[in-house]
Structure 1
Amino acid sequence: MTKFLLSVHVLAAILAIGPVTVAASMFPAAARRADVATLRLLHRICRVYAALGIVVPVFGLATAASLGVLGDAWLIVSIVLTAAAAAMLVLVVLPRQAGILAGGAGERAPARLGMVTGVFNVLWAVVTVLMIVRPGSTTGV
């Protein structure tokens, strides 16, 4: 069962979180070009895949419980960083994208959104590294 849970967790991360990070990263450049059709598409990708992304932590927690590592420091840090990335996406990235689409965000909005998106992407990169390296793991990896 653990292999199934881990497989779904990893596949969901690739298929859900990957498109969000790419689309969110492309959005500021498209905003500077004022490419409205592309902006709408990228914003929709971010919204839809953000919703699908909930599968990642759900199966991640199930996998962690199955492995008995829920109390490990690397996992707790990963959970906190995942929550921070999700909050940043829902509370900052998506609303700023919507503001740019609405036309009332200002001239510097794409640059500010680019910085926030960069932080969002770095959070996911750190979580990915923690999932692979697992500091303090006794698995010998």
Structure 2
Amino acid sequence: MTKFLLSVHVLAAIVAIGPVTVAASMFPAAARRAIADPHDAAARTTLRTLHRICRVYAAVGIVVPVFGLATATSLGVLTDAWLLVSIALTAIAAALLVLRVLPRQATLLTGVDATKAGAAPGRLAAYTGVFNLLWATVTVLMIVRPGSTTGV
């Protein structure tokens, strides 16, 4: 059962978190292009598509920690420091996505349509960068598992 849980956890991370990190990273540059030419319908469509990808895959991404916790329980590592740090970083990344990245994307979409977005893409890029850095750190912790007898 552990192998199944771990497989679903890893596949969900690849399929759900990967698209969010890529689409969220593309959004600020696409927003700058849309702001530069407010009459470019294709640029606005690109923004709406990237935002939709982020929203949908963020919702699908709930599967990742659910199966991660199930896998950790199955392996008996729920109290290991590397896992507790990973859980905390995952919670911070999720909060950052839900409270900063997605709302700012939505605001930029409205601002682009109204041609008044200003310097918001830079701030969004910073939040997105931190979000991606958190996920990269969690990924490394999941692989290296410091202090684990099975770690590197």
- How far apart are the structure 1 equivalents of 2:106 and 2:27? 11
Say yes or no: does 1:100 pair with 2:108: yes
User: Which residue identity lines up with residue 120 of structure 1 in the other structure?
Assistant: F
User: Which residue identity lines up with residue 67 of structure 2 in the other structure?
Assistant: F
- How far apart are the structure 1 equivalents of 2:60 and 2:122? 27
Q: Deviations over 1:110-135 (max 9, x none)?
A: 01100110000000000000000000
What is aligned with 1:109? Answer: 120
- How far apart are the structure 2 equivalents of 1:86 and 1:115? 15
Say yes or no: does 1:68 pair with 2:79: no
What is aligned with 2:40? Answer: none
User: Which residue identity lines up with residue 98 of structure 2 in the other structure?
Assistant: V
Q: Percent identity?
A: 81
- How far apart are the structure 2 equivalents of 1:93 and 1:4? 32
The equivalences for 1:1-141 within 5 A come to: 1-34=1-34, 35-103=43-111, 106-141=117-152
CA RMSD of aligned residues (A): 1.0
> Which is worse superposed, 102-111 or 54-63?
102-111
- How far apart are the structure 2 equivalents of 1:140 and 1:51? 31
Once the two structures are TM-superposed, the CA of residue 138 in structure 1 deviates from its matched residue by 1.1
Q: Deviations over 1:11-34 (max 9, x none)?
A: 000000000000000000000000
Q: Deviations over 1:91-117 (max 9, x none)?
A: 000000000000176311001100110
**3-state SS of paired residue (2:23):** helix
User: Which residue identity lines up with residue 76 of structure 1 in the other structure?
Assistant: L
Q: Any unmatched runs of 5+ in structure 2?
A: 35-42
Q: Is the 8 A contact 2:143 2:151 kept in 1?
A: no
Q: Which 4+ stretches in 1 moved above 2 angstroms?
A: none
TM-score by length of 1: 0.98
Task: Give the number of the structure whose alpha-carbon radius of gyration is greater.
Answer: 2
CA 1:70–1:28 in structure 2 vs 1: closer, same or farther (change >3 Å)? same
**3-state SS of paired residue (2:118):** coil
**3-state SS of paired residue (1:114):** helix
Q: Any unmatched runs of 5+ in structure 1?
A: none
User: Which residue identity lines up with residue 32 of structure 1 in the other structure?
Assistant: R
Q: Deviations over 1:54-107 (max 9, x none)?
A: 000000000000000000000000000000000000000000000000017631
